[in-house]
Structure 1
Amino acid sequence: QMALSFRMLGRLHAARGRQARAAHWEQRACELGRLINDELWCARTAFYHDRTTPQNFVTPKTAAGFWPLLAGICPPARTAALVAHLRNPRTFNRPMPVPALAADDINYDPRGVYWNGGVWAPTNYMITRGLQLAGQGDEAHRIAVKYVDGLVKTFEQCTPHTLWECYAPESFQPGLAAYTLKSVKPDFVGWTGIGPIAMLIENILGIDLDLPAKRLVWDVRLTEKHGIENLGVGTGTLNAMCARRASANAPACIELRADADLAVEIRCGSRRKRARLRAGKPLALSV
């Protein structure tokens, strides 16, 4: 988290034209990243752990071990190892992903007792966004689909029908509070809304809008008709729609319209197409 904070401070200074300060904070991020990789990576578990002494790793594998993805400090080989953990049902690939504590830990509780196995929207978004930035968009998509599907199933079968503070990893139920072992707080859209909003748009639909850069990247993975209408773009909106396809290998037929000029990149499998979307003018693409 600190490496990420340093990197973001650098980008903020760069945006304000303060290049010396930007370089300082980027250097701090790189230095801390090297230290994290030197000291907190365990070759035996292929995971990032806390340490109590120079010799001893803290044993549990937790969702905190995925922060290096989002911070941009995880080397490719270690990224692959983290993805393997996310796909492994013995650790993090549970019916409701991603538990805060790996399922092979002695303290893991399948009821989702808070941080001993609970599934949390903020850590899930940290993981999926980190995967996307690390070039692992397909894995981010898989996790997001499974997680949001679990939110819907819990919403439908549990009362009150709402979003919860955290969730059980083994069943579609709310998680349990650590001390009372009662259901966690209901009506918790404050962060669980990340799932049906940000993760739905960015990871499931695959629409990534960078408004300051005036850039839209759409990774098309779904085959049914899908898209979004009235997505905020400054004071205006964006409409983006992809027609139904016969298969994942079929071309994606895209229609776009926005109230701002945007550089557009559409990705569909190995295919890429770039175009310029002009404000107020529709754009149709086949990729």
Structure 2
Amino acid sequence: MLAEVPGRKQAARLVEYAQDEDEFGGQYPWPSVSRSDADYNGTVGDYWRGGVWLPLAYMSTKALETYGYHDVAHENARRLLAQMSETYKTFEPHSIWECYSPSAARPGQRVDGENLTLVAQDFCGWSALGPISLFIENVLGFYNIDATARLVEWRKTGWGEQGIRNLRFGDVHTDIVADGDTVRVVSDKEYVLKVNGKKYKVKAGTQAFTLK
């Protein structure tokens, strides 16, 4: 799906797997192999036998977006970030981990003979894709931030106060905060903001837009 190889019917079938708790969905989405696979280790993940890896989760999320399945991308991203947050709060040492368990809010573990070993901690390489990229792009909904085109595309859902402050892309520094159907923007440069498909031209300074 990321390479846009499947047709629409094939993609829809793959999305069913992304939502199925017995495959790649559920409370702890994106195990590295399907839960129905004979080699799946649902207890600890055992690295690539079920462990949740952020690079795979991120690519799978972008694949869903490519075919317009933003709701599924949002929900799986939210659940994965909830798992990372709960792990950080409840598991000691408090850290960002190399990969995560496919069945609990805890780090993944490797099976070495009869021994279990925790995966690497303080792993803010690819694992930072979760709390940074997935949070901004899929939970908050700023799914396309293009410095070259000077464009921000926001899939805004809900009506409470929401948005992002201190966003930097290219030479632009901006705040974008909505409350109900009003979006207030502060920026030091011009750019185009698209909210749910509608375009708004942002100028340097402070301005407000009423969503159409």
Q: Report the TM-score when normalising by structure 1.
A: 0.69
User: How many Å separate the matches in 2 of 1:76 and 1:265?
Assistant: 26
Q: Which amino acid aligns with 1:231?
A: L
- Point out the structure with the larger helix share: 1
Corresponding residue SS for 2:210: strand
> Given the alignment, which residue of 157, 162, 170 partners 2:103?
170
> Given the alignment, which residue of 193, 198, 202 partners 1:273?
198
Q: For each residue in 1:128-167, what CA deviation from the matched residue of structure 2 results, as whole angstroms up to 9, or x when unmatched?
A: 1121122111111011100001100111110011110000
Deviation at 1:257, TM superposition (A): 2.3
> Given the alignment, which residue of 19, 39, 47 partners 1:114?
47
Corresponding residue SS for 1:70: coil
Q: For each residue in 1:222-247, what CA deviation from the matched residue of structure 2 results, as whole angstroms up to 9, or x when unmatched?
A: 4432211111122331211122x5xx
Task: Within 5 Å, give how 1:249-268 maps onto structure 2.
Answer: 252-267=181-196
Deviation at 1:283, TM superposition (A): 3.4
Deviation at 1:274, TM superposition (A): 1.7
Q: Report the TM-score when normalising by structure 2.
A: 0.92
2:128 paired residue number: 193
Deviation at 1:177, TM superposition (A): 2.2
1:204 paired residue number: 139
Q: For each residue in 1:161-192, what CA deviation from the matched residue of structure 2 results, as whole angstroms up to 9, or x when unmatched?
A: 11100001111110012535311001111111
Say if 1:233 and 1:259, in contact at 8 Å, map to a contact too: no
- CA change 1:194–1:97 in 2 (3 A) is same
User: How many Å separate the matches in 2 of 1:283 and 1:253?
Assistant: 7
User: How many Å separate the matches in 2 of 1:185 and 1:201?
Assistant: 25
User: How many Å separate the matches in 1 of 2:111 and 2:168?
Assistant: 38
Task: Give the number of equivalent residue pairs.
Answer: 208
Q: For each residue in 1:97-118, what CA deviation from the matched residue of structure 2 results, as whole angstroms up to 9, or x when unmatched?
A: 1101000111110111101000
- CA change 1:223–1:109 in 2 (3 A) is farther
Say if 1:117 and 1:168, in contact at 8 Å, map to a contact too: yes
Say if 1:164 and 1:192, in contact at 8 Å, map to a contact too: yes
Q: Which amino acid aligns with 2:26?
A: R
1:184 paired residue number: 119
Question: Percentage identity across aligned positions?
Answer: 30
2:20 paired residue number: 88
Say if 1:94 and 1:170, in contact at 8 Å, map to a contact too: no
Higher alpha-carbon Rg? 1
Higher relative contact order structure (alpha carbons within 8 Å, sequence separation ≥ 6): 2
Say if 1:255 and 1:284, in contact at 8 Å, map to a contact too: yes
User: How many Å separate the matches in 1 of 2:146 and 2:4?
Assistant: 18
- CA change 1:82–1:241 in 2 (3 A) is same
User: How many Å separate the matches in 2 of 1:72 and 1:276?
Assistant: 31
Q: For each residue in 1:6-43, what CA deviation from the matched residue of structure 2 results, as whole angstroms up to 9, or x when unmatched?
A: xxxxxxxxxxxxxxxxxxxxxxxxxxxxxxxxxxxxxx
Deviating above 6 A after TM superposition, structure 1's stretches of 4 or more consecutive aligned residues are none
Q: Is it true that 1:152 corresponds to 2:152 in the alignment?
A: no
2:167 paired residue number: 231
5+ residue gaps, structure 2: none
Q: Which amino acid aligns with 2:208?
A: L
User: How many Å separate the matches in 2 of 1:171 and 1:112?
Assistant: 10
User: How many Å separate the matches in 2 of 1:71 and 1:256?
Assistant: 34
- CA change 1:167–1:90 in 2 (3 A) is same
User: How many Å separate the matches in 1 of 2:119 and 2:60?
Assistant: 22
User: How many Å separate the matches in 2 of 1:194 and 1:211?
Assistant: 19
Q: For each residue in 1:33-90, what CA deviation from the matched residue of structure 2 results, as whole angstroms up to 9, or x when unmatched?
A: xxxxxxxxxxxxxxxxxxxxxxxxxxxxxxxxxxxx2222222111111110011111
